[in-house]
Amino acid sequence: MRLKRLDLTRYGKFTDHHVDFGEPVAGAPDLHIVYGPNEAGKSTLFAAWLDLLYGIGMQSPFNFLHPYSSMRIGGALEFSGGAREFARIKRPQNSLLDAHDQAIGENAILGELGGIDREAYRTMFSLDDDSLEEGGESILKARGDLGQLLFSGSSGLADLSRKIADLHSEADGFYKSHARSGQLHDLQKELDRLKQERAQIDTQASKYAELSEAAKRAKARHDETTVRRGQSQARKDEIQRLLNARPRLAKLRSLREQLAPLEGLPDAPAGWAETLPTLREEEIKLETQIAANADEVERSTSAVEAIGVDQVGLSLAGKLDDADSLRARYLTAEKDVPDRRQKLHDLDHAIAFQLRQIEREGEANPGSLILPASTVERLRELIESRSGIETAVSQAEEEWTEARHRLQATEDKLADAADPSSPAGDRGNLLENLKLALAALRQSDHAARRRLADRAYLEGRSALDDCLAALVPWHGDEDQLVAMIVPALETIQRWKTAWDASQKRVDQHHGEMARLQSECVRLSAQRDATTSVTGLVTDQDAVAIRAERDHAWAEHRSRLDATSADRFEDVLRRDDGVVAQRFGHMVELAQLHETSRALKIAQSDFARAEELHAQSLADSETLAREIAKAISELSPLLPSDWTLPQIEGWLARRDKALEARASVRTAERDLQQAQDDATVLGQRLTATLRTLNIPVAADADETSLIAAAQASVDSEAEYRRHQQTLEERQRDAAARKRAFERAETGKQQWDAAWKEIGGACWLGESGAMPSIAAVRGILAVTSELASTLKERTMLADRIAKMEKDQREFQDFVISLADAAGIAQADASAVMDLLRQIEERARKADADRTRKTEEMERLEAARAISRELAEQKVVHDRRKQEMTSYFGVVTLAEVATKLGQIVLRNSAQRELAEVAQEILTALRSTSLAEAEAMLDSADQAALGTELAEITAQAETLEQEWRDSYATYKDAEKQIDAIGGDASVAEIEEKRRTILVEIEERARRYMRLRAGAMVTERALRLYREQHRSSMMAHASEALRVISRGAYTQLTTQPDKDSEVLVAIAADKGSKLVTEMSKGTRFQLYLALRVAGYFEFAKTRSPVPFIADDIMETFDDFRAEEAFRLFSQMAEAGQVIYLTHHRHLCEIAREVCPTVKVHDLSGLVTPERETA
């Protein structure tokens, strides 16, 4: 596998970024360095590679710019079968996409990785500081594939060792020397148990037969007892129901007496019972609220009339709003004026000192020394521009000289260049036409459309063939398919509806037949059971016996002899017996009549159900014939017995075939259109080339035409570039000359301006302008002097304003006191006077506020009075409705009526329940009949009969239990001895156990022998292959450490082995004794050795490392890149770093290394990686 291109479409900080690793160079190492400073995205690229192979995790730290729903990475991977495009999106399932954004299985990549999972790949072939160290520790502890590869000789042998241990465990589970448990021991114990059981069971056949006969007799006696016990219990239940129903009859009649006086009550409207308590509460609440609110109105009225307001005080309160700012300024001035006067004196001393600094001591008007801002800025501008002007003159002179040299070189180069002959006639237009024709051919999408149309045609043709093949048993071409007469969708839907309804009726009638047949069988069995248990004869039999009796009587009357008399007596006795028997079992006789009637009805319903079932089958067959006819019209090749789902499925496949046919036709049209466009553009370009006398072969292809046209355009452009360069050099030389002249003029102008500005101010009073340094110092002092003068002026103005504020405040307070009629005092007591005025104003405002609040309370109370009056009207209306309905006056009387209605309804419900209980107990449908039955029943006689039955029941119950116990004891004796079959069963079990012992013993021998042979072969294999892995690791460590360590070996440590490094001085060192840098070099050496071992037997995969040489010095980094270069000869190696010097080291070691620079991707955002 090889990574050709990695697409960071929307991942981490990246958007539509691609890292192209290109094609490998034959014979050169496939080594790549990805360089980028911190925050450039190297770690993001490192994580993206693993996410592309194995999927983006449930929680990803790279969604800070793009949300989960839009994250996407992709790339081009080269496999042994060719390059393939893949993309990966953030999705729990089906996240791997192909070049057409269709979801594909994970095996498309995992199969090429040889089944390596994410953690194993990260440990072996995707390294950063963490995985390098953690994976190295895992290898040294013989964990994982590389650990097993180092200590066991080959990946996967750890699983083989565990399987051998499992074989030993399985064998020991069957038999282990000197063990007291195991499968063999358990099977031997089972054999001993069966031997003892057989010795106990050895009875004679005669004993078995004797016990069987006794069991049959006990069973017959038990059945007889069961019948008599059931008859007794039935009569007892009947008497008990009569006795239990008599108290309910008394209750029934008592409830009727209670309901008699309540029958005239009307039914209360719905909700009155729930509304009445609330209505009564509202009545009391309204009366209480109306009285309380009237008291509140009276109290508020008195309070408003009792409060007086001082209007003069209120007018003072409005004027006092202006006193706050005046008072604040008065107090501030009283505190600050002395300090400000002292500061004014200090500023006068500072001004005198600054005048001495500029040699103008005693100046009467210091302000005249302050230069205007324009003059100061002009002086500073001139001072600052002086050095720039001098530099500009020098630089302009140098650039002018260089421009003359470049111009001369360009003229020489143009003289050497071949000047193409000037185009004849309109050659310039022809060249422009050539460019247009070439651009049109290049920009045309006919090639892409041709490829797409060709691909669509092949895919559509393949899909059409597949669809036609899926239409078996029909076969033919697509034109025949189009010409078919297809039933309409409405017809098919009508068939489906009719078929479902027909089948539903068939199933319904069939189920009804089965139900009625079962019901007939049940009723017949019930009738026979009633007849057999009670000995009753049916009505038909009774009529026959009565007819026989009448015939015997007639015969006896005609003969009057002893024979006829005996026969008549015999028949008469039989008839009397039948009558007596039927009279004694009236309940059973009624049940027999009911069962016979139900049986007749069930038999009649069954016959009707058979007719309906036959009719439904006929309707289904008619519909099936209609469908078969439609199928034959559709195509004679289709089976006429197809079901509707089969027809719908075939028509759906036909629709897909027609869709595929349409796609093929569209692709053919697109392909022809693309070919026509290519022909037109090629002919246009050929004609343009020939007008320029450029030879073009008649069979030239598109590539040749583009090359010839481009060569002509390039030749013309080359000469024009030379001419443009000459013109640019000439313009540049002239511009440089003008710049030099402007610089000289600027210098002269500066000197004139310096003299001019000095004569316009006091600096030039002496006739000579001071130097630039002296002027710079004077400007600094005059700037401070101006600031000091400004501060003095502002301070004096502030003192005057503060004194004015004090006077204004005193005048304001005195005017307020005059308006309030307060005696005046001197100016020093102005604050006391203001406090008296404020107190009077506060009191007036408080009185006004209290009066306003009381007036608001009064208005609120009046509003409540109006609202309560409205509520009282509504309440009285509702009360009137209830009282008038019941013809009473108060709500209490309404509550009484509602209570009587509740009592009546409850009694009616209880009456219905008692009546139903009586009907249920007597199993009657008429309450009148049930009452008559209870009134006619003799309770004393029933009690006597119940006592007799109860006494007989105890005897019957004991007899039934004894017969059941005798029967079960006989069965247990038979089961205990088991008969002759028990011995055979025991023998069969014994033989089965012996066979099982034999089979398990054979497997035990195979397990032991196989494990022994495999262990010996595994030891030989490990010894053979350990040296290869260890040799590679030793060599890699020797190279990285530059000979400091020469060999790696192992030594036993308890139940495992540990790695030992042999130094150049023959000393040995355990890994735990090495420095961190040396350990990291060892971990890398182990990965390098493992990579070569894997490459021996598998297709190599990309090896990627992220700045794992932080602890390496430059020399060891160089050796590490040497190893990477060797690895890159077997497979692709990618190293990510933010150290630029490592790129130079890599180039020195491997000149063909490819460096990919991410420097342009650095943003202020911090990369999450």
Q: Which two tokens stand for residue 490?
A: 């409405």
As beta bridge partners, residue 1063 has 1045
Place of tokens 């400004």: 790
Return d(Cα 780, Cα 778) in angstroms, integer.
5
- The rounded average pLDDT for each run of 10 residues, N- to C-terminus, in the chain (1169 residues) is 93 92 90 90 91 91 90 93 92 91 89 83 86 76 57 50 76 73 80 75 55 76 80 76 74 76 76 80 84 84 78 70 72 79 82 79 77 78 79 85 84 62 56 78 76 85 85 82 82 83 84 85 78 62 78 81 81 74 58 74 83 84 82 80 83 86 86 84 80 78 79 72 80 86 83 77 72 78 81 83 78 76 65 76 80 84 85 83 81 79 79 80 78 73 72 75 77 65 71 85 84 73 63 85 83 68 82 81 86 82 91 86 92 93 92 87 40
How far is residue 583's CA from residue 537's CA, in Å, rounded to a whole number? 12
- HSE value, Cβ hemisphere, 13 Å, CA-based, for 909: 5
Q: What angle do CA 403, 407, 411 make, to 5 degrees?
A: 175
- Return all residues near 90 (Cβ < 8 A) that are at least 6 apart: 56, 60, 63, 68, 69, 71, 72
Beta bridge partners of 103: 97
Return the axis-axis angle of helices 586-634 and 489-534, rounded to nearest 10°: 160
What is the model's pLDDT at position 760?
72
Helix (H, G, I), strand (E, B) or coil at 14: strand
pLDDT at 180: 67
Q: Which CATH architecture describes the domain 491-646?
A: Orthogonal Bundle (1.10)
Would you put residue 41 in left (φ > 0), alpha (ψ -120 to 50) or beta? Answer: left
Predicted pLDDT at 425:
46
- CB–CB of 778/763 below 8 Å? yes
Chain centre to alpha carbon of residue 971: 66
Calpha distance 214→970 (Å, rounded): 7
Distance CA 93, CA 103 (A): 9
* 6 within 8 A of 48, measured Cβ to Cβ: yes
- Write out the DSSP string of 757-806: HHHTSGGGTTSSPPPHHHHHHHHHHHHHHHHHHHHHHHHHHHHHHHHHHH
- The CA-based diameter of the chain, rounded to the nearest angstrom, is 197
Please tell me the predicted confidence (pLDDT) of residue 408: 84
Say what the pLDDT of residue 71 is.
94
Q: What is the pLDDT of residue 420?
A: 46
Residue 813 CB neighbour total at 10 angstroms: 23
Q: Report the distance separating Cα 265 and Cα 508, nearest Å.
A: 53
Length of the chain in terms of residues written:
1169
Q: What is the 3-state secondary structure (H, E, C) of 584-624?
A: HCHHHHHHHHHHHHHHHHHHHHHHHHHHHHHHHHHHHHHHH
Phi first, then psi, for residue 1108 (nearest 5°) are -90, 5
Q: What is the pLDDT of residue 1143?
A: 93
Coil, helix or strand at residue 1164: coil
pLDDT at res. 208: 61
Question: Which pair of tokens denotes residue 753?
Answer: 């301006």
Helix, strand, coil percentages in the chain from 3-state DSSP, rounded to 5: 75, 5, 20
The whole-angstrom separation of Cα 77 and Cα 1013 is 43
Give residue 317's pLDDT: 67
Q: How far apart are CA 717 and CA 180, in angstroms?
A: 101
Calculate the alpha carbon distances from 475 to 33, 479, 489, 499 in Å.
61, 12, 23, 29
pTM of the model: 0.34
The structural domains of the chain, with segments of one domain joined by +, span 206-263+898-977, 374-416+702-760, 428-483+647-691, 491-646
Q: Which two tokens stand for residue 252?
A: 């029934």
